[in-house]
Amino acid sequence: MNNTTEMYDVVIVGAGASGLLCALECARTQKKVLVLEKAPLPGRKILVSGNGRCNFTNRYVSPEKYRADSTFIHSLLKRFSFEDCLAYFDKLGMLYTEEAQGRVFPLTNKATAVTDVLKAALAETHATLLCNQEVVRVKKGRFFTVFTQNGQSFLTKNVVLACGSCAYPQVSGSQRGYELAKSLGHTIIQPRPALSGLVLKENFSRLTGIRAYVRLSADVTPSAQAEGEIIFTNYGINGPAALNISAAVSRALDNGNVSVHICFLPQLTDAENFFSQRMKRFFHRKPKDFFAGLLHESITNLLIDFKGLRKNKSMGEQSPTAVKQTFETVVNWPGTVTSLRGWNEAMIAIGGVNLREINYNTLESRCCPHLFITGELLDADGISGGFNLHFAWASGFCAAQAITKE
Ligand SMILES: Cc1cc2nc3c(=O)[nH]c(=O)nc-3n(C[C@H](O)[C@H](O)[C@H](O)COP(=O)(O)OP(=O)(O)OC[C@H]3O[C@@H](n4cnc5c(N)ncnc54)[C@H](O)[C@@H]3O)c2cc1C
């Protein structure tokens, strides 16, 4: 079937977070809007986000939470702030609740609340959403012709590439967005997995399943550090702190393994003094009892073996060097990241369309007028906590503002 006799104001490629919000905003004005989605359902990644609960924004959205030109993020957040995001979903009819660290979730605790209100609002407009329509080519002439895999084509004045990244291929992630952007003149910064577990050379499998609140840092430039929970796994570490340094580690892995340091007592301001005082009080205790109340028992056992402390001797009877090294290790346990868990576990991709080729105010391509690029397809990424979805909404919103002003 060929639909090129009908002219759309905008064809949006991808009904994910940024595409749906962009479509909704474009359709609020009398623009003729078509959304093409390759999957049978829209918003599949939204549905798996936040463990199915969808952490859709964060009170602390600010340029520092992103790895992208801060002028760009600042420009987006000025027009679609945290408060704007809450007001937006409120207007769509969704209640929400704020949890620790400013993370916001739907009150129903289900990501379906987010996709349902977006779908319902879109259905109330005159926009057309077609699923099972993978866009395989976009041709630029006087207008754009958008071709889908099943042989359809659509004529449009504007195109929005809202295809997302290649992360999580089991739920809609694909390379197609990069290919389409490239075919229209863009350069792609090589995508790499991020917000994914860190594979360590050292064997921590004895600690599998154990959680610890730590400060985790990586020897990378610029420095990367996160305080929060880690979860030991059979391959290394996962959990919020590991995820939040994973993007920086992912970039640095190109130059070889990356050293990381785990501080198990991030609350301490002067660890040396703390341990010297503790030695005065508890020098008579055996190592296991000395660390009781400080560390998880399994971490203590690994520490004792790692540093060669004698289990049946008191701390006062151990070699002073071994004691000193043990205390240092508690606040600076070394690890070596050899890789990140792959695309099937990475929540996002870093890299993507080069931001230098994008107009920061409009999200319009500088290579191809009337082409707009939004969301994770761009080379911008946030830490975990609702920042990536906020970026997707904000970029979709700003692109729609530019399109509807035309
Ligand atoms: C497991 C997991 C958990 C996450 N949890 C959170 C969280 O709690 N909070 C948070 O902020 N972020 C989270 N994220 C990240 C967040 O989901 C993404 O950053 C966000 O969805 C990106 O929005 P987008 O619009 O760019 O792309 P997507 O939401 O990925 O949408 C892109 C859409 O385009 C479609 N598409 C692609 N190519 C084509 C084509 N050629 N033709 C037609 N359609 C196409 C896809 O099928 C998809 O529906 C999570 C991600 C994952 C994988």
* Confidence label for 30 from pLDDT (cuts 50, 70 and 90): confident
Are 117 and 27 contacting, i.e. CB atoms less than 8 angstroms apart? no
* Confidence label for 314 from pLDDT (cuts 50, 70 and 90): very high
Beta strand pairing call for 103-106 and 128-130:
unpaired
**How many whole angstroms separate alpha carbon 74 and alpha carbon 57?**
16
Sequence letter at residue 106:
P
State the CB neighbour count (10 A cutoff) for residue 143.
Answer: 16
Residue located nearest, by CA, to atom 14 of ligand 1: 49
Confidence (pLDDT) at 18 = 98
Nearest ligand 1 atom to alpha carbon 172? 47
Classify 380 as helix, strand or coil. Answer: coil
CA of 203 to the centre of ligand 1 (A): 33
Are 230 and 262 contacting, i.e. CB atoms less than 8 angstroms apart? yes
User: What DSSP letter does each residue of 31-56 carry, written as one string?
Assistant: --EEEE-SSSSS-HHHHHHHHHT---
**How many whole angstroms separate alpha carbon 392 and alpha carbon 33?**
19
Pocket of ligand 1 (CB under 6 A): 13-19, 36-39, 44-46, 48-50, 54-55, 134-135, 162-164, 167-168, 172, 174, 176-177, 347-348, 375-377, 386-389, 392
- Mean pLDDT calculated for residue range 306-312: 96
- Mean pLDDT calculated for residue range 343-369: 97
CA of 299 to the centre of ligand 1 (A): 37
* Confidence label for 20 from pLDDT (cuts 50, 70 and 90): very high
pLDDT digits 0-9 by tens, 63-85: 999 999 999 999 999 999 999 99
* Confidence label for 406 from pLDDT (cuts 50, 70 and 90): confident
CA of 141 to the centre of ligand 1 (A): 29
Integer-rounded Cα Rg, in Å, for the chain is: 25
Q: Looking at 47-51, 156-160, 222-226, which range is the least confident one?
A: 222-226
pLDDT at residue 194 tops 60:
yes
Q: Which tops the pLDDT comparison, 182 or 5?
A: 182
- Would you give the end-to-end CA distance of the chain in angstroms? 30
pLDDT at residue 197 tops 60:
yes
Question: What CA–CA distances, in Å, run from 147 to 127, 138, 345?
Answer: 19, 6, 31
Are 322 and 145 contacting, i.e. CB atoms less than 8 angstroms apart? no
Mean of all residue pLDDT scores within the chain: 97
**How many whole angstroms separate alpha carbon 13 and alpha carbon 20?**
10
Dihedral of alpha carbons 321, 326, 328, 333, sign? positive
pLDDT at residue 1 tops 80:
no
**Maximum C-alpha span of the chain:** 88
- The structure tokens listed for 39 are 């999957």
Are 146 and 159 contacting, i.e. CB atoms less than 8 angstroms apart? yes
Classify 203 as helix, strand or coil. Answer: coil
- Mean pLDDT calculated for residue range 357-375: 98
Sequence letter at residue 64:
E
pLDDT at residue 316 tops 60:
yes
Confidence (pLDDT) at 4 = 62
CA of 15 to the centre of ligand 1 (A): 9
Which 8-state DSSP code applies to residue 376?
A: G
- Mean pLDDT calculated for residue range 234-244: 96
pLDDT digits 0-9 by tens, 267-278: 999 999 999 999
* Confidence label for 135 from pLDDT (cuts 50, 70 and 90): very high
- The structure tokens listed for 4 are 């090129």
The pTM (predicted TM-score) of the whole model is: 0.94
pLDDT at residue 13 tops 80:
yes
State the CB neighbour count (10 A cutoff) for residue 82.
Answer: 18
Are 296 and 210 contacting, i.e. CB atoms less than 8 angstroms apart? yes
- The structure tokens listed for 358 are 């994008």
Percentage of the chain lying above the pLDDT 90 cut? 98
To the nearest 10 degrees (0 to 180), the angle between helices 320-331 and 297-307 is 130
